[in-house]
Structure 1
Amino acid sequence: MALAKKSIEELLGDEAEDLLTHECETISKDKLHLPSPTYVDDMLGGSDRNPRVLRSLQTLLDNGRLGGTGYLSILPVDQGVEHSGGASFAPNPDYFDPEKIVKLAIEGGCNGVASTFGVLGSVARKYAHKIPFIVKINHNELMTYPNEYNQIMFGSVERAFDMGAVAVGATIYFGSKESSRQIQEVSKAFERAHELGMATILWCYTRNSAFKVDGEDYHAAADLTGQANHLGVTMQADIIKQKQPTTNGGYKALNMGDSSYGKLDEDIYDKLSSDHPIDLTRYQVANDYMGRAGLINSGGSSGKNDFAQAVRTAVINKRAGGMGLISGRKAFQRPMEEGIQLLNFIQDVYLDDDITVA
């Protein structure tokens, strides 16, 4: 059942009018390359991507309830590695079974399903031709004691290709001491994926304990995540996955006292963004070559107000000029019917023509 606009407003609560009517006075929408039914032709038709990559991206964009719109709704389930299987699937043990994951993505009307070599490989012959596969090729294994936060390769790009994937995904912890190695590894993997005709999606996460300053956490600051995105598109990621910004001023906080970190310009804060969530996310889109690479925001962890939070994130992403949402735990840590409903609620935001780019 489609989510009526009244329901969207109800879920947004006191923020409804602000989020649905806000107009960006920072980076104008007419400067952006926006999602559309002709996105692949418009954005990549003149690029160095070979025809097989264009076909793979079009396959992803044409599937599911959002097929043909230029927007994406992706179910990602790599948390069994990233957050441990027990912690991830205890709320709903059905999803220890990889087939249930793929079925949720199909029944939920997603464009594609992103998961591990193990999950997708175990059901590839049955489902690779029924929903686009995105194979996550690296992970933080979370078993080393004490825990280390480091993305390492779990398989080859060739293996992802052999199981019929249309795209590969990878994570880089920008700002970590291991990031230089990760950048080199993932850059080579993405180059090979493009050679084979697969699209590339990069999880551009910031990670460094120093990004917490005086009790404030700047891992989701617009300036730091924006630069992580910019590094991601420099590596020729076709789509960028990023946490939606909740604050700004990461560079400023890290440059207090005698420290010197990165480069900043005051216009980042005064002219290119504001404290409004849509403007903060617009800055992320700008760093994705003004939208030439699509921005998909993550749905975040599961909690008490999942439906409201998912719709809020989708509205902000769409109105900022983003390409969609990649939401996992909010969907699979609940009964399948509720998970399907949540995914459909997210998709309804992108299908609602009254919700426009700010």
Structure 2
Amino acid sequence: MTDVQGLPGDEAKDLPAHTAQGIPKEDLVLPGPDFVDRTVAATDRTPRVLRNLQSLFDHGRPAGTGHVSILPVDQGVEHSAASAFAANPRYLDPRNIVELAVEGGCNAVAGTLGVLGAVSRRYAHRIPFIVRLNHNELLTYPNHYDQIMFGNVEQCFDLGAAGVGATVHFGSEQSDRRLREAGEVFARAHELGMFTVLWCCLRNSAFKKDGVDHSVSADLTGQADHLGVTIEADIVKQNQPENNGGYPALGFGGTDRLLYDRLTTDHPIDLTRRQAANCCMGRVGLINSGGASAGQGDLAQAVRTAVINKRAGGTGLITGRKAFQRPTDEGIELLHAVQDVYLDDGITVA
């Protein structure tokens, strides 16, 4: 097993030792092997949703921990196939994508309708599929950054998907419509027995002010999480926060000084705990993004993100480009290193 506690560099001592400030772990509903029985079974989700969600938690190397490691490969649409796969063209073949998720020990693979549908009869029974239905394609010029549906829920059901995903870019001009569409998709997915994942991000150039990008502030991303669980996302995917104070800096919306003075600090674990708290205090799983690939240092950065997520009370990591934009053996090593964080009993909730 990877020596995960030795990887986060200068934070190697601080991250494992930090005691959370603001929201105590005792107030959270924490991940665990009985999470579906203990928490989700009390909701309005149908038995079929519970079964598919349990299959997610029972799969891959993290099986039985209540945590997840998901491989997402939808970047051929969001970031163009050239930018996504030029570094490793073999992943233009959907079979290789799913094989990476299987060999990498992931709980699930997330992708587009076309990619997962191309290999569903071979693999849908071997690893849970999550179909992400809406995307922002990059051929419209000038690009308008608008998510559109690339399929419907019935198609996801027919190919054997365990879950359905959608994206809302909160703060964008189209976010109201996307939120309504995602809510309709999630309601239908639950009717058919599939769990739901919301890619819950912020996108607005006005969120950048005085050199600070508040699209990754804990207060704004936390509110996006809260809106995500309101449309009954079972899992929320969110970028890990890097700062706080988006509301007062931008001078809009509603907040309270207690959020900044008492409920959190500037420590990354405390900032991420704020996100988890806004996911119904952990009743909805928070997974953080592994982020773009920067080459050297990706492994340490991915492990750092996983340590922060786990210690904050999160459910796991969704790691794509850092894994598939490198040789297969290195991608598998990175995925295993992330999973080792959640398998390491020495890394506890802060």
Which category of TM-score, normalised to the shorter sequence, fits these structures? over 0.9
- Structure 1 counterpart of 2:152: 156
- Partner secondary structure for residue 131 of structure 1: coil
Normalised to the residue count of structure 2, the TM-score between the two structures is 0.99
Identity over aligned pairs, percent: 64
Asked if 1:14 is matched to 2:48, the reply is: no
- Structure 2 counterpart of 1:72: 68
- Structure 1 counterpart of 2:266: 275
Q: Which amino acid aligns with 1:107?
A: E
What is the CA distance between 1:274 and its match in structure 2? 0.6
- Partner secondary structure for residue 185 of structure 1: helix
Which of 116, 124, 127 is the aligned partner of 2:120? 124
Asked if 1:236 is matched to 2:232, the reply is: yes
- Cα deviation 1:54-111 (Å, max 9, x = unaligned): 0000011100001111000000000000000000101111111111000000000000
* Separation of aligned partners in 2, 1:200 and 1:338: 30
After the TM superposition, which residues 179-198 of structure 1 pair with which residues of structure 2 at under 5 Å, given as runs?
179-198=175-194
- Partner secondary structure for residue 246 of structure 1: coil
Task: Name stretches of at least 5 consecutive residues in structure 1 with no aligned partner.
Answer: 256-260
Asked if 1:308 is matched to 2:300, the reply is: yes
Shift >4 Å, 4+ stretches: none
* Separation of aligned partners in 2, 1:25 and 1:134: 35
* Separation of aligned partners in 2, 1:103 and 1:80: 17
* Separation of aligned partners in 1, 2:282 and 2:72: 22
- Partner secondary structure for residue 8 of structure 2: helix
- Structure 1 counterpart of 2:203: 207
Which of 326, 337, 346 is the aligned partner of 1:334? 326
Normalised to the residue count of structure 1, the TM-score between the two structures is 0.97
Q: Which amino acid aligns with 2:282?
A: G
Which of 224, 243, 248 is the aligned partner of 1:247? 243
What is the CA distance between 1:10 and its match in structure 2? 3.0
Q: Which amino acid aligns with 1:20?
A: P
* Separation of aligned partners in 2, 1:76 and 1:9: 25
- Structure 2 counterpart of 1:293: 284
* Separation of aligned partners in 1, 2:262 and 2:159: 46
What is the CA distance between 1:271 and its match in structure 2? 1.1
- Structure 1 counterpart of 2:107: 111
- Structure 1 counterpart of 2:2: 3
- Structure 2 counterpart of 1:258: none
- Structure 2 counterpart of 1:352: 344
Q: Which amino acid aligns with 1:308?
A: A
- Cα deviation 1:300-328 (Å, max 9, x = unaligned): 00012101000000000000000000000
RMSD across aligned C-alpha pairs, in angstroms?
Answer: 0.7
Q: Which amino acid aligns with 1:3?
A: T
- Structure 1 counterpart of 2:41: 45
What is the CA distance between 1:215 and its match in structure 2? 2.1
What is the CA distance between 1:220 and its match in structure 2? 0.5
- Partner secondary structure for residue 346 of structure 1: helix
What is the CA distance between 1:43 and its match in structure 2? 1.1
* Separation of aligned partners in 2, 1:314 and 1:131: 22
Larger CA deviation: 144-153 vs 161-170? 144-153
* Separation of aligned partners in 1, 2:345 and 2:309: 15
- Structure 1 counterpart of 2:84: 88
* Separation of aligned partners in 2, 1:128 and 1:235: 26
Q: Which amino acid aligns with 1:227?
A: Q
What is the CA distance between 1:12 and its match in structure 2? 1.3
* Separation of aligned partners in 2, 1:231 and 1:338: 37
Q: Which amino acid aligns with 1:42?
A: R
- Partner secondary structure for residue 337 of structure 1: helix
Q: Which amino acid aligns with 2:339?
A: Q
* Separation of aligned partners in 2, 1:75 and 1:185: 24
Q: Which amino acid aligns with 2:218?
A: A
* Separation of aligned partners in 1, 2:21 and 2:213: 26
- Partner secondary structure for residue 348 of structure 2: coil
What is the CA distance between 1:134 and its match in structure 2? 0.2
* Separation of aligned partners in 2, 1:38 and 1:10: 30
- Partner secondary structure for residue 41 of structure 1: helix
